[in-house]
């Protein structure tokens, strides 16, 4: 896979596929982590005299322009972080995009409007997607793929455009791939994996693949209640995927047969409703009242999880342990994050809600070895899948 060091970018128009899919609240960016992660590649290209054209998506506008999903706030924040003006095109491949690109001088940066305003970006029809890729590629001389959070998507800007232009991987993708290889090809053991989040079904592939690779798997978050139910325990009104019970039972059997340690909570914080103000308390994991829902792992479980991370040399964490956005249910996620730090292991926070939790709970990001920008992409890589965006950059 070539990198930007292999490209002569001076005076050339370089299309950078970044991941700027940041959370917004009323038009205000609530977490700019992905924008900051894109800066090194953009700054390297600027320093090399490139005319940088950044393209990215935000949310799921379903192929139609929608002001709610405009990248205009992102352009403003990107400019603040770069300390330079960022020109913003009000469309993706139309008159505004062409005029904005034509006005760039060496070292300038422009951001195109949300790629997903164009139906061709996400189309499953190769011809429609290809036609859009042609128009997007026509804006540039070179392509740099740096949106790791989108490389598992077979989208025009990720998969098709690299085939139309000389291309290379940006610094972020190169770093992410290097980290993932340490989790799959060069693993220092013991190797512990912490999985949380709401649904078992989101993690089926990665659990299946890791059963042959990890030394222990710690389960928390909403997905744990399907595991507890599979063991025959009452889970009250907690999140439950009935259709995954047999699969989970199979995982538990396979783990026992192969010597992989599954670590489940011994206590949970259970509440009468999904609310920070609801009556809540700590109960044993095998004795959740029928009228309560589990919203976090309990304090004993936090200590247990930290203890099972203490001797690990490699840790991958994807998914919070509870509804960390509500203060009464943040403690399990906090305990796991601190456990990663205290372990001294090579620690990877697998993007998405886990990365957001690290920042929201006030942890120093530098205390972790790596915080990924792509939760879904990381999981699919660990499942052993071929990621279209990486495949396109390797060609």
Residues annotated as catalytic (active site), given as ranges: 34, 199, 352, 376
- Structure tokens, 351: 């993007």
Residue 327: burial class (beta carbons within 10 Å; 0-12, 13-18, 19+): exposed
- 384 in a labelled binding site: no
- 294 in a labelled binding site: yes
- 352 in a labelled binding site: yes
- 212 in a labelled binding site: no
* CA atoms 174, 346, 200, 290: torsion sign: negative
- 79 in a labelled binding site: no
Q: What SS3 state is found at 96?
A: helix
- 213 in a labelled binding site: no
CA 139 – CA 126 distance, rounded (Å): 20
- 218 in a labelled binding site: no
- 33 in a labelled binding site: no
DSSP per-residue letters across 150-180: GTTS--IIIIIGGGGS-EEE-HHHHHHHHHH
- Structure tokens, 107: 């070292």
- 229 in a labelled binding site: no
**Torsion of Cα atoms, 92 then 93 then 94 then 98, to 10°:** 110
Q: What SS3 state is found at 184?
A: helix
DSSP per-residue letters across 282-318: EEETT---TT-EEEEE-HHHHHHHHHHHTT-SEEEEE
- 59 in a labelled binding site: yes
- 313 in a labelled binding site: no
- 43 in a labelled binding site: no
- 58 in a labelled binding site: yes
DSSP 387: P
Which residues belong to the annotated binding site for substrate?
19-21, 34, 57-60, 116, 153
Which residues belong to the annotated binding site for ATP?
203, 294, 325, 351-354
Which residues belong to the annotated binding site?
19-21, 34, 57-60, 116, 153, 203, 294, 325, 351-354
Which residues belong to the annotated binding site for (2R)-3-phosphoglycerate?
34, 116, 153
């Amino acid at each position: 896979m070539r990198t930007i060091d292999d490209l002569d970018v001076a005076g050339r128009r370089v299309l950078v596929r970044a991941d700027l899919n940041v959370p917004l609240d009323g038009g205000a960016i609530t977490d700019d982590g992905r924008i900051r992660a894109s800066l090194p590649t953009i700054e390297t290209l600027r320093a090399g005299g490139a005319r940088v054209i950044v393209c990215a998506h935000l949310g799921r506008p379903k192929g139609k322009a929608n002001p709610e999903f405009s990248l205009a706030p992102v352009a403003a924040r990107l400019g603040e972080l770069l300390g330079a003006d960022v020109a913003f095109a009000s469309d993706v491949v139309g008159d505004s995009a062409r005029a904005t690109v034509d006005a760039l001088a060496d070292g300038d940066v422009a951001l195109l409007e949300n790629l997903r305003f164009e139906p061709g970006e996400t189309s499953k029809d190769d011809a429609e997607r290809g036609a859009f890729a042609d128009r997007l590629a026509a804006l540039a001389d070179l392509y740099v793929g740096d949106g790791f959070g989108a490389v598992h998507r077979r989208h025009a800007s990720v998969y098709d455009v690299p085939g139309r232009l000389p291309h290379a991987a940006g610094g972020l993708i190169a770093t992410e791939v290097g980290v993932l290889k340490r989790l799959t090809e060069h693993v220092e053991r013991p190797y512990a994996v912490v999985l949380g989040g709401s649904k078992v079904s989101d993690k089926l592939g990665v659990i299946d693949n890791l059963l042959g690779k990890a030394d222990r798997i710690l389960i928390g978050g909403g997905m744990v209640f399907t595991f507890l139910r599979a063991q025959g325990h009452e889970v009250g009104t907690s999140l439950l995927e009935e259709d995954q019970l047999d699969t989970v039972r199979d995982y538990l059997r396979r783990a026992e047969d192969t010597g992989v340690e599954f670590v489940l909570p011994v206590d949970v914080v259970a509440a009468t409703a999904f609310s920070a103000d609801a009556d809540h308390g700590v109960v044993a994991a095998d004795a959740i009242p029928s009228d309560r829902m589990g919203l976090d792992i309990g304090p004993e479980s936090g200590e247990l999880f930290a203890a099972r991370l203490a001797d690990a040399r490699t840790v991958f964490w994807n998914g919070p342990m509870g509804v960390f956005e509500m203060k009464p249910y943040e403690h399990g996620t906090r305990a796991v994050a601190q456990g990663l730090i205290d372990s001294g292991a090579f620690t990877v926070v697998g993007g998405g809600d886990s990365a957001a939790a690290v920042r929201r709970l006030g942890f120093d990001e530098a205390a972790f070895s790596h915080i990924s920008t792509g939760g879904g992409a990381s999981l699919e890589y660990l499942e052993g899948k071929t990621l279209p965006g990486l495949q396109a950059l390797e060609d």
